[in-house]
Every structure is written in structure tokens, then in C-alpha cells.
Structure 1
């Protein structure tokens, strides 16, 4: 199995759960915060993955990658932090109790 195929369920789950969370209050603010968080996580991933790969701390079998890279880091590495930036707040919004508007 290739890494791009492995991330598809995570991306699909993130899209579905984030979409379902749109009915909860503060969706626009949450998406803006998630987008900002995703940018920060992508920058940090780019820095640290490139350093770790350059130091030969780990490698990826090239036959399992898409071939797209940001520096030395395969593009697939960036999907997990982006999914986390959107999925975690969406799940939290869905499981949080609604505040009574009294």
C-alpha cells in the first residue's frame, strides 16, 4: 500500500467530521483557527522533517511515495498535521455540550 492511499481515510474522515461540525456554533471562528493552526503545523513539519531526513534519522521507500516533496519531506507527511488541525477541533465541537442560552 502506498502512503497516498493510506492517508485517504484520514482526509475523508476529517472532511466529513468537519462538515458535520458546521452545525455547531462558532464554525467560522473554528475553521479560521484551524487554518492558522494548520499553517503553523505545516511550517514546523517542513522544518523538522527536513532536518530529520537530512540527518538520516528515517527514510521512506520511494516506491510508496507520490514523488512530490517539500524539500526532502514527502508531501504525504503534511497530511497528518493538517488533518489534526481540522479534525480535533471539529470533534471537540461535536462532543461539547451546548451552552444554554438563558
Structure 2
């Protein structure tokens, strides 16, 4: 299985959960916060993935990648921090109890 196909279920789940919270209070504020968190997480991913790949701590088989890279880091690595930044607040919102 290729890495781009592997991230698709995570992206789909994140999108579905985020859209499900669209009518909840503070949706716009949550999206701004999630976007800022995603930017920070992806910057950290760019820095540390490149450092770990440069240190030869791990590598990816080229035949399983899309071929798009940010430095030495494959683009697919950035899907996980993106999903985390949006999915965690969406799940939190969907599972919180309504206030009296």
C-alpha cells in the first residue's frame, strides 16, 4: 500500500468530524485555532522530519511515496499533524456534554 492511500481514511475522518461540528457554538473560533495549531505542528514536522531523515534515523521506500517533498520529508508526513489539529477539537466538541 502506498502512503498517499494510507492517509486518505484519516483525512476523510477528519473532514467528516469537522463538518459535523459546523453548527456547534464557536465553530469559526475553533477553525482559526485549529489552523494555527496545524501550522505550528506542520512547521515542527518539517524541521524534525528533515533532521531525522538527514541523520538517517529512518527512510521511506520511494515506490510508496507521491514524490512530493518538503526538503527530504515526504508530503504524506504532513497529513497526520493536519488531521490531529482538526480532528482532536472536533471529537472533543462532538463528545462534550451540553451545558445546563
Scaled to the shorter chain, the TM-score interval is over 0.9
Q: Look up the match of 1:93.
A: 93
TM-score in terms of structure 2 length: 0.98
Aligned length: 100
Offset from partner CA, 1:30-76 (integer Å, 9 cap, x none): 11000000000000000000000000000000000000000000000
Cα drift, residue 28 of structure 1: 0.6
Q: Which runs of 5+ in 2 are unaligned?
A: none
Q: Which runs of 5+ in 1 are unaligned?
A: none
What SS does structure 1 have at the residue aligned with 2:21? helix
TM-score in terms of structure 1 length: 0.96
Q: Look up the match of 2:53.
A: 53
Taking the aligned partners of 1:23 and 1:84, their CA distance within structure 2 comes to 21
Q: Which runs of 4+ in 1 moved over 6 A?
A: none
1:75 equivalent to 2:80? Answer no
1:44 equivalent to 2:44? Answer yes
Indicate the larger mover: 18-27 or 72-81: 18-27
Cα drift, residue 99 of structure 1: 1.6
Cα drift, residue 23 of structure 1: 1.9
Please provide the CA RMSD for this pair: 0.5
Taking the aligned partners of 1:86 and 1:59, their CA distance within structure 2 comes to 27
